[in-house]
Structure 1
Amino acid sequence: MFVSEEPWGPGPQGYHASDVERWAPEPDKRPGRTAFQRDRGRVLHSAALRRLAGKTQVVTPGTSPHSWDATPRTRLTHSLECAQIGRELGAALGGDPDLVEVACLAHDLGHPPFGHNGERALHEVAAGCGGFEGNAQSLRLLTRLEPKRFIADQETGEPVSVGLNLTRAALDAATKYPWPRGGHPTDPASGKFGVYEDDMPVFRWVRQGAPAGRTCFEAQIMDWADDVAYSVHDVEDGLHAGHLDPACLLAEPERREVFAVAAHRYAPGADPEELAEALDRLLDQEWWPHGYDGTAVAQARLKDATSQLIGRFCLAAEAATRAVWGTGRLTRYRADLVVPRATRLECAVLKAVADRYVMQREDQELIRAEQRVIIAELGERLVARAPDGLDPQFRTLYARAGGDAERLRVIVDQIASLTDASARSLHARLTRPPSG
């Protein structure tokens, strides 16, 4: 286990001085704030966070038949809800709540337009520069692309962006997969990774002193808060939009389909009986929203159910973690988050319910196919026409790029920065037949 020489050093209580170091040293303009409060402010005020408001979470705005539900969750509202969950759980376990909130707010910043579907399509576009991964893109945004701090290049003297210049602990907490492509500690074929090759210098700095392949305690809380938020709220959005009838979860054929999805995608190796028990534990709660019909009373019951589920999942993790690691401040590499298997299976079943009844709808596959075409054609057109089509920030980076792979990475950065609407708009402009 990594333990710093001065575990209660001059950083925020429970953190060492090295945890609050920044890649580019800078003075604090407002004394009295902690380093992690500064980090939180920088992420909250970033353009990258605001852009998440234009990126779909699960249900596309305007697809619900109900006028009162015209605004389902976006990536931004999901990130804010994840941050609230993570902040409270982190504080309960003795961590710095601002640090955990930074990780939660930042965890989806690198998502491209059209969510995971867009991520897969953009990975194909990026084949010539090392691929695309939303988590690696988040680190790139935080340390390079989001314009906040600049330093002079040692060779040319030109200004070079260091992104938001967050603390080491904040960047580490936002890193869900602390390895490069192909570096998964147990599954090298996994497509999940947290850093591109050309971002390795800052990544090595972030991971200084950290055990290889291990996420810090705050990142583990962020990861669980993310799971809790989207498993609970995706089901809530599915009910609001009329895509999910709660009665289906009582019918055997539908249950078997849900369990198959859960075992395949969210709880590999889980036995159908285990998953059935997990679902039934939730259905047996007096607050479960049986018979949801969209009335005001039903909406209130559903909101109570989401609160109950979040509390259930977080309290289970808090109790299990304390049982193993004891009382006191649990921070960085001094503990690991413990989530009981039964709780993870309940969460996995909820994810599978949203997957089966919202994501697998026939109309959604048609939408996803169109989205993949948009991303692919954006890549083709920008490769052929760049710097035309690039925003000023990316035009500059494109002009400075040292080869085809670097230029392609700039194009991928541009596409990843787009919202759903701006991706469609840029695609329409670049594919419009010439006039006359």
Structure 2
Amino acid sequence: MSIEDLYDDSARERVVAEPPKRVDAPVRLAFERDRARVVHAAASRRLAAKTQVVGPQTDDFVRNRLTHSLEVAQVARDLARALGTHPDIAETAALAHDMGHPPFGHNGERVLAELSADCGGFEGNAQTLRLLTRLESKTFDEEGRSVGLNLTRATLDACTKYPWPRSEATGPHGVHADGTPRVVVKFGVYDDDRPVFDWLRTGVAGRRRCLEAQVMDLADDVAYSVHDVEDGIVAGRLDLTRLDRDALWETVRSWYLPGTDDDALDTALDELRAVGSWPEAPYDGSRRSLAAIKNLTSDLIGRFCGSAQQATFDAAGGEPLVRHRADLVVPEATEVEIGVLKGIAAHYVMQADDRVALMERQRQLVAELVEGLWQRGVDGLDPVFVEDWEEAGDDAARRRVVVDQVASLTDASAVTRHAALRNGSRPTPVARGGPGSR
């Protein structure tokens, strides 16, 4: 049985049925078409100018949201293929997983969550679903409403990292870089997007994520835990040969692994340091040092994915590893090792005084931008959002339109739009290219 045979007609169904492509077009399967639509989406291109950890304009080496997404996609595709699940679905979910992030990454997300509390809240993953099924328009239904990229049910399900609404979200844990408690709760759908969410979750009870979504989630964790450390090393912000365990463990617990004791964290770090490519000398910027870091990142990614692959095979008992027929198993030791790497980046990069000060200015800019666009109303919006404003039935719906507008901006366009509002000029609309004819 081929991998395509493991996905039934329901998995391939789209909200709007599509006729076959013309006979002279290249033959592509349903999930290949989904991947192409995400690759060609304007929201994907805008990720190149959105912050990952530090701003994409800071230097030529650090990752932005697009390069991070490409790396997550590579990890997800390789892991999916090794497990026997559909690599196109997992890769597409990985390519799309950060599309909903606003300017300045999680820092911008924090502001939008606070300012949209009365109109349904804000969460990057819920915004991704909104983009894929509404805002990034390619297809319209019989009533003239956008259904976004019109992806298949299986792909949209794989893109849903948190398959529950805001009302069912648990409280946030941990602190922001400035030490204040986190405020953003994790959920995957806004209330006014429930119809398409209920459609894509047809036949699924409760919060269980499909296997492809679990692969995407692990690939994301693996990629940013490893690559944020790499970026921090090259930026001169951390040295893996000189780690302050006492301070580091406090950060790890407050950000990622509450309740994990020092012994478990010490063991995890010792295991990581036992990896043959762990550096024995500080990074010096030479080609040899760069090669050493690349070898380390490769070894760590292989270590984490390999442990999950083996544990998943052991638990599956021969059941096909597709959709809701199996779960990805990540050993606890692997989760702690990933958490330790995340904590290293958080402690030495994200909590740095200069970055905390910059993040405060970014939050102020986003807050002023939301208020300025709200005061301008339709005159402050890109043309693509004007119809949404005019169709909005109340202030809460209009507030959501402003949030959608701000969330769509890149770091640079947010700064430009904010400056235009402050000097009283009309904001220059941002070009909104479509996803092409894929």
2:432 is matched with: none
Q: 1:25 aligns with which of 4, 17, 24?
A: 17
Contact 1:11 1:17 survives alignment (8 Å): no
Distance 2:377 2:326 in 1: 48
Q: 1:235 aligns with which of 229, 236, 244?
A: 229
* CA deviation after TM superposition for structure 1 residue 263, in Å: 1.8
Distance 1:396 1:389 in 2: 13
Distance 1:102 1:286 in 2: 33
TM-score (norm 2): 0.91
* CA deviation after TM superposition for structure 1 residue 186, in Å: 9.6
1:378 is matched with: 369
Distance 1:35 1:434 in 2: 46
1:60 is matched with: 55
Distance 1:166 1:24 in 2: 9
Q: 1:115 aligns with which of 79, 85, 105?
A: 105
1:347 is matched with: 338
Q: Is 1:171 the counterpart of 2:156 in the alignment?
A: yes
1:412 is matched with: 403
The one-letter code matched in structure 1 to 2:256 is Y
Q: 2:263 aligns with which of 267, 273, 279?
A: 273
Distance 2:27 2:56 in 1: 42
2:430 is matched with: none
Q: 1:76 aligns with which of 66, 74, 82?
A: 66
Aligned pairs (5 A) from 1:90-101: 90-101=80-91
Distance 1:207 1:62 in 2: 39
Q: 1:415 to 1:186 in 2, by over 3 A?
A: closer
Distance 1:165 1:44 in 2: 14
* CA deviation after TM superposition for structure 1 residue 123, in Å: 1.0
Q: 1:13 aligns with which of 5, 9, 18?
A: 5
Task: Identify the range of structure 1 (190-199 vs 82-91) with the bigger mean alpha-carbon deviation.
Answer: 190-199
Q: 1:283 to 1:395 in 2, by over 3 A?
A: same
Q: 1:140 to 1:434 in 2, by over 3 A?
A: closer
Q: 2:245 aligns with which of 244, 255, 259?
A: 255
Distance 1:423 1:187 in 2: 27
Distance 2:133 2:240 in 1: 44
Task: Identify the range of structure 1 (395-404 vs 418-427) with the bigger mean alpha-carbon deviation.
Answer: 395-404
* CA deviation after TM superposition for structure 1 residue 80, in Å: 0.5
1:40 is matched with: 35
Q: 1:206 aligns with which of 200, 204, 221?
A: 200
1:356 is matched with: 347
* CA deviation after TM superposition for structure 1 residue 111, in Å: 0.3
Q: Is 1:181 the counterpart of 2:171 in the alignment?
A: no
Distance 1:243 1:78 in 2: 19
Distance 1:390 1:63 in 2: 29
Distance 2:203 2:341 in 1: 37
Distance 2:238 2:57 in 1: 17
Distance 1:101 1:382 in 2: 36
1:401 is matched with: 392
Distance 1:212 1:118 in 2: 30
Distance 2:3 2:326 in 1: 19
Unaligned 5+ runs, structure 2: 174-182, 427-438
Aligned pairs (5 A) from 1:278-317: 278-291=268-281, 292-317=283-308
Question: Size of the alignment, in residue pairs?
Answer: 413
Distance 1:172 1:271 in 2: 35
Contact 1:90 1:218 survives alignment (8 Å): yes
* CA deviation after TM superposition for structure 1 residue 278, in Å: 0.3
Q: 1:211 to 1:290 in 2, by over 3 A?
A: farther
2:179 is matched with: none
Distance 1:134 1:261 in 2: 24
Contact 2:3 2:84 survives alignment (8 Å): no
Contact 1:182 1:190 survives alignment (8 Å): no
Secondary structure, counterpart of 1:12 in structure 2: helix
* CA deviation after TM superposition for structure 1 residue 431, in Å: 1.2
Q: Is 1:217 the counterpart of 2:217 in the alignment?
A: no
Contact 2:135 2:148 survives alignment (8 Å): yes
Contact 2:83 2:321 survives alignment (8 Å): yes
Percent identical: 55
Q: 1:61 to 1:164 in 2, by over 3 A?
A: closer
Distance 1:366 1:307 in 2: 33
Task: Identify the range of structure 1 (187-196 vs 39-48) with the bigger mean alpha-carbon deviation.
Answer: 187-196
* CA deviation after TM superposition for structure 1 residue 185, in Å: 7.5
Unaligned 5+ runs, structure 1: 1-7, 65-69, 154-158
Q: 1:118 to 1:190 in 2, by over 3 A?
A: closer
- Structure 1 runs of 4+ aligned residues shifted over 4 Å read 185-190
Secondary structure, counterpart of 1:424 in structure 2: helix
TM-score (norm 1): 0.91
2:180 is matched with: none
Distance 2:319 2:201 in 1: 24
Deviation per CA, 1:12-58: give whole Å up to 9, x if none. 22111101100111123147321100100000000011000000111
* CA deviation after TM superposition for structure 1 residue 433, in Å: 5.1
* CA deviation after TM superposition for structure 1 residue 59, in Å: 2.5
Secondary structure, counterpart of 1:151 in structure 2: coil
Distance 1:381 1:48 in 2: 23
Contact 2:110 2:184 survives alignment (8 Å): no
The one-letter code matched in structure 1 to 2:275 is Q
Deviation per CA, 1:92-139: give whole Å up to 9, x if none. 111110000011011111000000010010112212211111110000
Contact 2:382 2:405 survives alignment (8 Å): yes
Q: Is 1:128 the counterpart of 2:118 in the alignment?
A: yes
Contact 1:59 1:237 survives alignment (8 Å): no
2:79 is matched with: 89
* CA deviation after TM superposition for structure 1 residue 266, in Å: 1.3
Contact 2:49 2:56 survives alignment (8 Å): no
